[in-house]
Amino acid sequence: MDTQSWKDVYKGMSSDNIKGLVLALSSSLFIGASFIIKKKGLKKAGASGVRAGVGGYSYLYEPLWWVGMITMIVGEVANFAAYAFAPAILVTPLGALSIIISAVLARIILREKLHTFGILGCALCVVGSTTIVLHAPQEREIQSVKEVWDLATEPAFLLYAVVVIIAVVILIFHYLPQYGQTHIMFYIGVCSLMGSLSVMSVKALGIALKLTLSGTNQLIYPQTWAFTLIVIVCVLTQMNYLNKALDTFNTAVVSPIYYVMFTSLTILASIIMFKDWDRQNPTQIVTEMCGFVTILSGTFLLHKTKDMVDGPAMLPVRLPKHGDEENGFGQEGIPLRRQDSLRLP
């Protein structure tokens, strides 16, 4: 490409792209901050009621938790609006900024620690996710919500949906009662699996809304309301177990792992449902696979260092399921250093 061509490409952003950029940045700020606000609300509710991490719902009576919830909704609305102005290749990578915002605020406001290798893991997650998004194919054009329903009821995606539902049921009823308080991947796994289904349904609703506003009413089709029901069930499940994860584990770890797993499973679901790889060349596919490997590496680092802190090695104290601060255990359900436990009254 000659010099003149490069100038043509980088001559400036359109006004719509600028609007999309601002909305996407605002979305990341709101979503990243919502994790911290909700965490403070969960801690406050847990101090006077049954914690979410052990099955309580006292946070529903805590105004601070609702502030965090509203903040997250505002962020999601801004993210949805950003796609109306700018292409996905610009908007989607900016979602990774919510991880950095959440980690920084967690360190400043919640005084949570993140090991140096945890920071490296976070960076790897962002790089891997961005690599996948930047090399993702363009979405296929959909003319009707019925067309989305036909794609969702093809054998390949039906098999994926059945596997997801079975996995979620097994996690909820078998693994979470035993390992939910000590293994972060189970809570996040439920949220991410359900999230991959909810995004596909949200896409269908977005198409239905867009077509309806343009004059082609999609509200008369039962498929639109079926997708609406799926979204409601999936989102309620996600919020329930995300609250449990935030109440039990370090926010600086929950946020990136949730983002990585949610993004990875959503892309996988999109590949199966919309057959994205049929419109890609081998180089693009290999690049996306490299992105997945990078994501897995970052997730591994975050998971292995979630109980570690920088500085002199100290004997860790493991927290039983129903430990409390009076017994020398942190309210969040994660191990504390011996030095920290000695400071507690």
pLDDT at residue 230 in the model: 94
pLDDT > 70? residue 206: yes
Give the type of residue at 206. G
Binning pLDDT at 50, 70 and 90, where does residue 157 land? Answer: very high
What whole-number distance in Å separates Cα of residue 59 and Cα of residue 159?
36
pTM over 0.75: no
Indicate left, alpha or beta for 147 from its phi (over 0: left) and psi (-120 to 50: alpha): alpha
Contacts of 134 (CB under 8 A, 6+ apart): 89, 93
Q: What is the pLDDT of residues 178-203, one digit of tens each?
A: 998 889 899 999 999 998 898 788 77
> In the Cβ-directed half-sphere of 151, how many Cα atoms lie within 13 Å?
22
Q: Give pLDDT tens digits for 93-102.
A: 677 777 777 7
The pLDDT of residue 5? 43
pLDDT greater at residue 124 or residue 165: 165
Please tell me the predicted confidence (pLDDT) of residue 79. 77
pLDDT at 315 over 60: no
Q: What is the pLDDT of residue 300?
A: 76
Element (H, E) at 242: helix 222-248
Q: What is the mean pLDDT of residues 292-297?
A: 81
Q: What is the pLDDT averaged over residues 241-247?
A: 88
Distance, in Å, from the CA atom of 56 to the CA atom of 41, rounded to the nearest integer, reads: 13
Mean pLDDT score of the chain: 76
What's the pLDDT band for 222 if we cut at 50, 70, 90? very high
- Determine what percent of the chain is predicted with pLDDT higher than 90: 19
Read off the pLDDT of each residue in 11-35 and give the average, rounded to a whole number: 76
DSSP states along 37-56 = HHHHHHHHHHHHS--GGGT-
Residue 328, pLDDT above cutoff 60: no
Q: How far is residue 85's CA from residue 17's CA, in Å, rounded to a whole number?
A: 6
**pLDDT over 70, % of the chain:** 74
- How many whole angstroms separate alpha carbon 280 and alpha carbon 139? 12
Query: Residue 218's pLDDT is what?
Result: 85
The CA-atom distances, in angstroms, between 237 and each of 75, 255, 256, 317, 324 are 19, 17, 19, 32, 27
221 Cβ partners below 8 Å, 6+ apart? 145, 146, 208
| Residue-wise pLDDT tens digits, 59-84 | 788 888 899 889 988 998 887 767 65
On the question of pLDDT at 103 being above 70, the answer is yes
pLDDT at 11: 43
Q: What is the pLDDT of residue 308?
A: 65
Contact 167, 268 (CB under 8 A): no
pLDDT higher than threshold 90 for residue 148: no
Residues recorded for the chain: 345
At 312 the pLDDT is 52
Q: What is the mean pLDDT of residues 310-338?
A: 42
Cα separation, 279 vs 291, whole angstroms: 18
Instruction: Among 11-15, 112-116, 211-215, name the most confident range.
Output: 211-215
